[in-house]
């Protein structure tokens, strides 16, 4: 299994903090957001290499981070060669860029580089191996305003995803979908198909409603919270919590 960490955004809503620092490299409780995520990834024994996909502006910062990393995983930093928020590829196009650039042909865990979370990724990986199918993560969110800002799914009694809406006006359930996904290697060519059909290449959640039209996708339910660091307010809140 390979990992892909999405880190090619420009985080303009967090200016001035992110004007010269990539969002995943901001510190929370004495270490970077990326370090928090990698600590969870290190527990997933199946993962033997992790790709960080970023942009031209922050490429060297992630190369420097990878050079200083002395843990058990192998890291490769990939530059998508965009230079501004206006020209960014979008998360789904960045996943496809990694797949095309590397020729990756293993199962893959995809994670946003700007979320902190209670989820244990090794438990998620175990669920994926058990189901032998593409999987997403879900957790219960009771705040309707928060639900309207994220992906929301309905699942059946077997945890099969039966509907998915990104930022719904009227959420159909309380099951929110954080940007943590596991895709089987047989699914990877579908990213190219999705892009070629002209679908939205931006938020990674947009791929899932399209995918469930083609394949069975299961939802792994975890207890606890995840913290999406998108604004100065949310960053301050996470600083206080941690």
Q: CATH code at 90? A: 3.90.550.10
Q: Report which DSSP code applies to 118.
A: S
Q: Are 92 and 191 in contact (CB under 8 A)?
A: yes
**Per-residue pLDDT, 199:** 94
pLDDT single digits (tens) 200-220: 998 888 899 999 999 999 999
Would you say residue 26 has pLDDT above 90? yes
**Per-residue pLDDT, 203:** 83
Would you say residue 230 has pLDDT above 90? no
**Per-residue pLDDT, 197:** 96
Q: How many domains does the chain have?
A: 1
Would you say residue 224 has pLDDT above 90? no
pLDDT single digits (tens) 56-92: 999 999 999 999 999 999 999 999 999 998 989 999 9
Would you say residue 166 has pLDDT above 90? no
Q: Report the percentage of the chain scoring pLDDT > 90.
A: 86
Taking the C-alpha atoms of residue 32 and residue 30, their distance in angstroms, rounded to an integer, is 7
The sign one gets for the Cα dihedral 129, 135, 136, 137 is negative
**Per-residue pLDDT, 103:** 94
Taking the C-alpha atoms of residue 25 and residue 3, their distance in angstroms, rounded to an integer, is 18
Question: What's the burial of 151, exposed, middle or buried (CB within 10 Å: 0-12/13-18/19+)?
Answer: buried
Taking the C-alpha atoms of residue 77 and residue 216, their distance in angstroms, rounded to an integer, is 31
Would you say residue 131 has pLDDT above 90? yes
Q: Are 188 and 96 in contact (CB under 8 A)?
A: no
Print the domain residue range for 94: 2-241
Q: Tell me the pLDDT of the chain averaged across its residues.
A: 95
Taking the C-alpha atoms of residue 226 and residue 141, their distance in angstroms, rounded to an integer, is 10
At which residue do the structure tokens 């077997």 appear?
158
**Per-residue pLDDT, 75:** 97
Taking the C-alpha atoms of residue 10 and residue 58, their distance in angstroms, rounded to an integer, is 9
Q: How confident is the model at residue 181 (pLDDT cuts 50, 70, 90)?
A: very high
């Amino acid at each position: 299994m390979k990992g892909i960490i999405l880190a090619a955004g420009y985080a303009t809503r967090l200016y001035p903090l992110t004007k010269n620092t990539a969002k995943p490299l901001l510190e929370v409780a004495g270490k970077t957001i990326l370090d928090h995520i990698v600590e969870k990834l290190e527990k997933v024994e199946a993962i033997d290499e992790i790709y960080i996909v970023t942009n031209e502006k922050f490429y060297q910062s992630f190369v420097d981070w990878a050079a200083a990393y002395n843990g058990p995983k192998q890291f490769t930093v990939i530059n998508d060669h965009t230079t501004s928020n206006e020209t960014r590829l979008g998360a789904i196009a960045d996943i496809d860029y990694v797949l095309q650039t590397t020729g990756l042909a293993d199962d893959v865990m995809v994670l946003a580089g700007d979320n902190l979370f209670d989820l244990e990724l090794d438990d998620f990986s175990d669920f994926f191996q058990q189901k032998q199918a593409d999987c997403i993560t879900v957790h219960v969110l009771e705040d309707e305003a928060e639900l309207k800002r994220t992906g929301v799914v309905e699942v059946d009694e077997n945890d099969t995803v039966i509907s998915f809406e990104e930022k719904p006006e009227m959420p159909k359930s309380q099951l929110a979908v954080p940007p943590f996904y596991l895709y089987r290697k047989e699914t990877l060519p579908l990213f190219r198909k999705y892009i070629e059909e002209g679908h939205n290449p931006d938020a990674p959640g947009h791929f899932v409603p399209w995918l469930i039209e083609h394949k069975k996708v299961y939802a792994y339910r975890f207890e606890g919270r995840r913290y999406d660091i998108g604004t100065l307010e949310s960053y301050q809140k996470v600083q206080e919590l941690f």
